[in-house]
Amino acid sequence: MLSLKSLFIILLLIAVLVTTGFLLRTFKKLRHKQFSAGLRNGLYSLLALFLVITSGLLVSNVLVYHRLSHETPIARLYIKPLDRQLYQVSVVYLPDCQLSQFTLKGDEWQIDARIIKWHSWANLLGLDALYQLDRIQGRYLSIEQQRQNLPTVFKLEQQPQPDLWALKKQFQWLPLLDAQYGQSIFMTMAVDQWYEVHLSQSGLIVRKINRQQANNHCANVPL
């Protein structure tokens, strides 16, 4: 099935070919001194040219919106209660479906990551934000509980990733790079709930998903 991007490009190419055809017919009519037919074809050419310009603007707007709003799912989390304020959190890394499980204390789970963001015009050229998941930890709603209890913190073990901080330091002269920063996201430890973490062009986003959505792509992951 054709994507919206491919469909718009095909329509634009058709419009360009139609315009070119009308222009060639116009020149042919004028060369044979068929001025009435040439004028008529000239009007058709202008109309086709208007459609080409309009289609081009529409395509560019769609592509800009698609690139700047692009999101990539990078992890799914499943919450299983073990005891009061004690949970088993399963992290499924995407797209390779690698599984890690952690026992966390608290009322919320929190993931920290390192992000490298490109300038918007670099996004339009096809470059997406880079990430490196760093750690996962439990988080209490009560600040007093947070102070009184040792945090449960674990390193997120993915497939080997490049050190983004070293990358930024090595290539900081590149005009494409916009910012490097650490980001944390946290959500409630909802019982038997799936979450999906996405990487957007500006950082991490997390959403609740249902079991059917969670089984997409990684249906055979044991939990």
Q: What is the per-residue pLDDT across 181-222, written as a single tens digit (0 to 9) for each?
A: 889 999 999 988 999 999 988 889 999 998 888 887 776 666
pLDDT of residue 102: 96
The number of beta carbons lying within 10 Å of the beta carbon of residue 201 is 19
Q: Where residue 131 falls among pLDDT bands split at 50, 70, 90? A: confident
Q: Dig out the tokens for 155 from the structure.
A: 């390193």
* pLDDT tens column, 77-129: 999 999 999 999 999 998 888 899 999 999 999 999 988 887 877 776 777 88
Mean pLDDT value of segment 4-9: 61
pLDDT of residue 30: 61
pLDDT of residue 180: 77
Considering the chain, what is the average pLDDT of its residues? 79
* DSSP labels, 147-186: HHS---EEE---S----HHHHHHHTTT-TTEEEEEEEEEE
Report whether pLDDT(75) > 70: yes
Write down the domain spans for the chain.
4-68, 71-215
Cα torsion 199, 200, 203, 206 to 10°: value is -60
* pLDDT tens column, 134-167: 999 999 999 999 999 998 999 997 655 556 566 6
How far is it, in rounded angstroms, from Cα 135 to Cα 133? Answer: 6
pLDDT of residue 119: 81
Percent of the chain with pLDDT over 70: 64
pLDDT of residue 91: 94
pLDDT of residue 117: 83
Report whether pLDDT(38) > 90: no
Report whether pLDDT(56) > 60: yes
